Amino acid sequence: MRQLGHCLIAAATFVVSTAPVVAAQPAPADTASGFPNRPMRLIVPFTPSGPNDQLARMMGAKMTETWGQQVVVDNRPGAGTVIGTDLAVRSPADGHTMLMISLSMAVNPVLQKNLPYDTGRDLVPLINLALSPNVLVVHPAVPAQSVAALLTMAKSKPGEVIYASGGAGSTTHLAGELLAGMGGVKMTHVPYKGASPATLDLLGGRVTCMFGTILPTLPHIKSGKLRAVGMSSLRRSPALPDVPAIAETLPGFEAVSFYGVAVPAGVAKPVLNKLNAEMARIITAPDIREQLRLQGADAVGDTQAEFTTFFRRQMSKWATVIKEAGLQAQ
């Protein structure tokens, strides 16, 4: 998913800003007929070029076309998404400020001390744009040819199976913790500052395995430099149909990345509905859906209520995984 949206953003022009949009008088709370009435801002709490950023740019361009109001993509990385999220929750709750959200927001309440906001109270999940599984890969020198064999190896050598991740608290880290917990094994986690350095060390044989996003990992699998042993989704991925889902070995195993949008608490329901309907229309368009599929992702476009339920379940699920793994808040 690192390159998610490259083929989408090639056909659109985007505006990126690090300056806040000048606030104006909000639209009446009881109607969405005049919404939006000024430029909008979509905050991305990550650096440019990642999957959240690419989806934000694509959505922003399409929404600008529809409504004639510019959607400004505002990258605010730092502090594990806390900087961008805090900016969003402090913005006027009129629908003109939105926030890209992912697993980081769901796990920050238990992994980060003294958050300046209450995730459950101050953020309203709006829509889930896409889901993407990760692929569990091992170095070719590792004898394990399957998830079951990797778990057997880990059981025979507690702590000697080393798995890399793109950072503490990332999807790829927590997927490894879930695998160890459900598999009843002890593995050693080595966090890196991003997926790229983690992949380099796996290619060099300095670690045993890692969960990687499909698109950047696929060339290494096809070249034989890495061996895929399992997918983190409940079912096999069309991108790698011959790779079993880990759930085929560990029933119920699922650790997928999600890419959604939220708004500050207090946005009027008619505005929520209007935003959700437009984003769902864009993300589920046949051409967009197919382009995402080719990159290993599934378009979602659910309702605001459905995404709220999903996000809360993610918070609960990963809080349990983190507690059982003994991870400490930083």
What is the DSSP annotation of 236-305?
--TTSTTSPBGGGTSTT----EEEEEEEETT--HHHHHHHHHHHHHHHTSHHHHHHHHHTT-EE----HH
Which residue shows structure tokens 């606030």? 23
Give, in order, the Cα–Cα distances in Å from 87 to each of 6, 19, 44, 84, 265: 27, 12, 10, 5, 13
Query: By the 8 A CB rule, do 140 and 226 touch?
Result: yes
**Stretch(es) of the chain classified as CATH 3.40.190.10:** 134-248
Query: How many angstroms separate the CA atoms of 76 and 68, rounded?
Result: 25
CA-based nearest residue to 115, from 161, 81, 91 = 81
**Stretch(es) of the chain classified as CATH 3.40.190.150:** 6-131+258-325
Query: By the 8 A CB rule, do 258 and 103 touch?
Result: yes
- 6-131+258-325 is classed in which CATH architecture? 3-Layer(aba) Sandwich (3.40)
The CATH fold of domain 134-248: D-Maltodextrin-Binding Protein; domain 2 (3.40.190)
Q: Which two tokens stand for residue 147?
A: 């998830």
pLDDT at 31: 55
pLDDT at 175: 95
Query: How many angstroms separate the CA atoms of 311 and 105, rounded?
Result: 9
In a 13 Å sphere around the CA of 95, the CA atoms on its Cβ side amount to 26
Beta-strand pair 134-138/209-213: antiparallel
Please state, as a whole number, how many other Cβ atoms lie within 10 Å of the Cβ of residue 3. 14
pLDDT at 72: 97
pLDDT at 195: 84
pLDDT at 4: 55
Query: How many angstroms separate the CA atoms of 144 and 114, rounded?
Result: 42
Q: What is the mean pLDDT of each run of 10 residues along the chain (330 residues)?
A: 46 39 43 87 90 92 96 93 96 97 93 93 97 95 96 95 90 94 96 88 96 89 96 92 96 95 97 97 95 88 97 95 86
pLDDT at 207: 96
